[in-house]
Structures are given as C-alpha cells and as structure tokens.
Amino acid sequence: MLDEGLPVGLREVARRARVSQTAPYRHFADKDALLAAVKQEGFEALTAALQAVDAPPHLPRIRALGVAYVEFAVANPGWFRAMFGEPLDRERFADCAAASSGGFRVLAQAIVAAVSAGAIEGDAHDLTLMAWSLVHGLSSLLLNGQGREVGLDPARAGELAERIVRAVTAGLALM
C-alpha cells in the first residue's frame, strides 16, 4: 500500500491480508500504532543497511554511507515516505522514536571517527547534520520526481549520490 501511494488504514490492511476487519486490532490499537510499527521497521531496516556498509574508514566510508542511504530510499519509496511523513507521537511510540535515530547514529560514528583521525575538520555533530541533510534531501527529490529536468533520475540514484557525496567529502577533506 505504501509503494502504491495509498493511505494505510486498518480495514484496507485487513482486506489485503484476507483477514477479518477486526483482526488487525488484535495487533494494533489503532491506525497510529500500525503506522508506528511500519515506521519502526523501516528505520531498523535503514539502520541495518547502513551498518552493512563495508568500506574503509574515513572519507570512503562516509561516501559509501551516503550512497547506501539514497539507494535505500529509492529501493523502498513507500517505506521511506512513511518513515519521514506524518510526525510521530514520540512518547506513545518510544521504541519507534528510538529506532528513528539509528541511521543518524551510524553516520555520526563514521564522521566522529573521521574528525578524530584528522581526515576532516569541524564539529562532528554539525557535519553529521550536513551529511544527513544532503542525502535525505537528495533522496526526497528523487522520490518526489523533482529535478528530472536537471538530471535527478531515480534510475541512476546510486551513481548520482556517489558523485554528489564524493564532491562534498572532497571539500570536507580540504577544510
């Protein structure tokens, strides 16, 4: 349903799963609980995809993480939109809220290591925010079909992400 751009509702989920309309309520209190579970699973999958990146430290690792982020978004558009769509009640869905920062932490660890090793200079937190903003923005543009006229082609997302992230990390290395 997410990949089809359809709103997620418990009745439609039940219909597609070929179960009774009340069956989802045995697992989820309401639609928000279902969406929180979907978001949490997506954040955990994104974190796992970033943790699976096998690249040498510092700049090559940061680049590889950026590419992996964009490739995850393009491969999982419905999930990605759900993860970063409607705001989450962080108190009610604390597990999902905790999972939502997993990918950021993976990127932050790589950037802290690079700053500590002298591969890049600057405030590690600010650099992490910048790197995340870059790949998240690129992912969002690709998924929303914006920028096609300037070369943002989802079919070439990995290659595009590699070029953009390489240019930014080359600049960081010069700081």
* Residue-by-residue pLDDT tens, the chain, 175 positions: 676 666 667 677 667 778 777 676 777 788 888 889 889 999 999 999 999 999 999 999 999 999 999 999 999 998 899 899 888 899 999 999 999 999 999 999 999 999 999 999 899 999 999 999 999 999 999 998 887 888 888 888 999 999 999 888 877 665 5
165 lies in a domain?
yes
11 lies in a domain?
no
30 lies in a domain?
no
pLDDT tens-digit series, residues 20-39: 776 767 777 888 888 898 89
119 lies in a domain?
yes
DSSP tag of 87: -
pLDDT at position 127 is 94
Residues with Cβ < 8 Å from 42, sequence gap 6 or more? Answer: 76, 79, 80, 82, 83
How much is the pTM? 0.87
24 lies in a domain?
no
Q: How many structural domains does the chain have? A: 1
Residue 28 and residue 37 in contact, taking contact as beta carbons nearer than 8 Å: yes
6 lies in a domain?
no
- The CATH number linked to 169 is 1.10.357.10
Residue 161 and residue 138 in contact, taking contact as beta carbons nearer than 8 Å: yes
Range of the domain at 125: 36-174
